[in-house]
């Protein structure tokens, strides 16, 4: 504890992690109430349709965001370190100029193609109307994602995590309960999600306005826009590839099986995410800290932060993994008896999340230290392999096959990233027990 108190970087990581953990736990709790309500009132099929539609919204928001939400995080952290407020404002205005038109194009495109996607890709006309509703959510969700990362880069972690974790699910469950009280319309969960997204966006816009409105800029102030775009595109490819690795199983399950299997698999996936809770929380704090320390050439402090955060991530995740596996049937049964068949799926997904925890914040580390192209290459190769394997095994093994491929792709991507960071950059991002570190003189 004395070591934590004397090290400002570790103190920032662990203090911020605790606060973020509280907000993330609150958000996840409310988020689980949302899917619990949907699964119990609309069944596995309703859950499947809802989860796949949200997946489409997320995909379109990523495309229209061009990866700016991640590159903004890196540059805001860098400009913060330099105390360059004018560039902070210019950066935000520039990404808005690109993101708003692209999100509107994505929205119109999805609306026009909703019937085609429903019948050709999902083999279910019921998705036509849900995709039309989703098209109106895309611009709001795209800007919201951007704003959250901008606020996170400003190191206003309480605000960014409240918005990221708690805002949408809290407003969502409130309106879901109100709207579903006198109606059984299967699209109600999407209507409530749309209201929650719009509300959260307005809050984030107001906060950013209060932070940057007073900053005066003139025509002489500028920054390298081409450099920003060149940084963003590899990050976009990485995010899309990571997203596809995680969600391609949902899309192919819908194509080859039923909405019910999609719903069961998605619930198992949501539960398994609990294992990576600490990883996600630490990543939220560590990303701007990695950028700050690396670009300031404070390498010793950076190595210390990586080692301590990785230990926290793995040991906590191991406890959560054992708990979920032991009580898997009870946990799945909370969502309805038809979800209990996902027990073996849940075990495989839990092991995948545990392996993510073992290898620490390696992906965030690569992105924040200028190695985004390397991360992009690793993720793209893994994504292609994931798509091919899912296409082969899902028609035969269904959701169990999808879970196995998810585990395999997690191992491939993380081992490749860890190997590069260790051999080329000299950093150890995976967990090594203290007694092994001492034996090897680390």
pLDDT in tens, 64-81: 877 777 677 667 766 655
Confidence of residue 201 (pLDDT cuts 50, 70, 90): very high
For 142-198, what is each residue's pLDDT tens digit?
999 888 888 877 777 778 888 888 889 999 999 988 887 777 778 888 999 999 999
Residue 185, sorted as left (phi over 0), alpha (psi -120 to 50) or beta, turns out to be: beta
For 281-322, what is each residue's pLDDT tens digit?
776 666 667 777 777 677 777 777 777 777 778 888 888 899
Element (H, E) at 158: helix 157-161
Of 396 and 434, the one with more pLDDT: 396
Would you say residue 11 has pLDDT above 50? yes
pLDDT for 18: 63
Confidence of residue 199 (pLDDT cuts 50, 70, 90): very high
Please give the average per-residue pLDDT across 274-287, as a whole number: 73
Confidence of residue 433 (pLDDT cuts 50, 70, 90): low
- Dmax of the chain from CA atoms? 66
What does the buried/exposed string (b/e) look like for 112-148 if buried means 16 or more CB atoms within 10 Å of the residue's CB?
A: eebeeebeeebebeebebbbbbbbbbbbbbbbbbbbb
Burial grade of 2 (CB within 10 A; 0-12, 13-18, 19 or more):
exposed
Would you say residue 99 has pLDDT above 70? yes
C-alpha torsion 345→48→192→349, nearest 10: 20
Would you say residue 404 has pLDDT above 90? yes
Would you say residue 441 has pLDDT above 70? no
Cα(176)–Cα(84) distance, integer angstroms: 43
pLDDT for 309: 75
């Amino acid at each position: 504890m004395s070591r934590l108190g004397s090290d400002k970087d570790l103190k920032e990581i662990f203090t911020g992690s605790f606060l973020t953990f509280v907000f993330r736990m609150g958000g996840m709790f409310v988020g689980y109430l949302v899917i619990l309500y949907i699964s119990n009132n609309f069944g596995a099929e309703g859950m499947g349709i809802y989860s796949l539609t949200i997946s489409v919204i997320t995909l379109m928001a990523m495309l229209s965001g061009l990866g700016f939400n991640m590159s903004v995080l890196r540059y805001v952290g860098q400009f913060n370190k330099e105390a360059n407020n004018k560039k902070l404002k210019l950066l935000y205005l520039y990404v808005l100029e690109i993101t708003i038109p692209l999100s509107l194009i994505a929205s119109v495109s999805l609306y026009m193609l909703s019937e085609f996607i429903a019948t050709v890709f999902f083999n279910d006309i019921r998705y036509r109307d849900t995709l039309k509703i989703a098209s109106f959510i895309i611009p709001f969700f795209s800007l919201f994602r951007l704003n959250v990362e901008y606020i996170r880069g400003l190191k206003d972690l309480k605000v960014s995590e409240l918005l990221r974790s708690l805002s949408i699910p809290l407003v969502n469950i409130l309106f879901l309960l109100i709207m579903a009280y006198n109606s059984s319309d299967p699209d109600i969960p999407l209507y409530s999600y749309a209201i929650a997204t719009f509300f959260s966006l307005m809050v984030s816009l107001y906060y950013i306005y209060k932070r940057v409105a007073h900053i005066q800029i003139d025509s002489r102030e500028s920054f390298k826009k081409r450099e920003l775009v060149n940084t963003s595109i590899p990050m976009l490819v990485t995010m899309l590839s990571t997203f596809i690795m995680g969600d391609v199983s949902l899309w192919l399950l819908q194509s080859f099986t039923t909405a019910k299997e999609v719903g069961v698999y998605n619930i198992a996936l949501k539960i398994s995410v609990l294992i990576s809770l600490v990883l996600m929380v630490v990543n939220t704090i560590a990303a701007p800290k990695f950028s700050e320390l690396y670009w300031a050439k404070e390498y010793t402090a950076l190595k210390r932060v990586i080692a301590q955060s990785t230990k926290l991530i793995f040991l906590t995740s191991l406890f959560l993994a054992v708990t979920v596996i032991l009580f898997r049937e009870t946990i799945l049964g909370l969502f309805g008896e038809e979800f209990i068949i996902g027990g073996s799926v849940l075990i495989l997904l839990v092991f995948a999340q545990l392996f993510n925890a073992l290898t620490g914040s390696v992906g965030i580390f690569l992105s924040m230290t200028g190695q985004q192209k390397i991360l992009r290459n690793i993720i793209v190769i893994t994504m292609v392999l994931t798509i091919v394997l899912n296409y082969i095994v899902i028609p035969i093994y269904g959701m169990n096959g999808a879970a196995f491929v998810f585990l395999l792709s997690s191992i491939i991507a993380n081992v490749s990233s860890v190997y590069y960071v260790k051999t080329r950059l000299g950093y150890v991002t995976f967990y090594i027990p203290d007694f092994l570190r001492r034996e090897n003189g680390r």
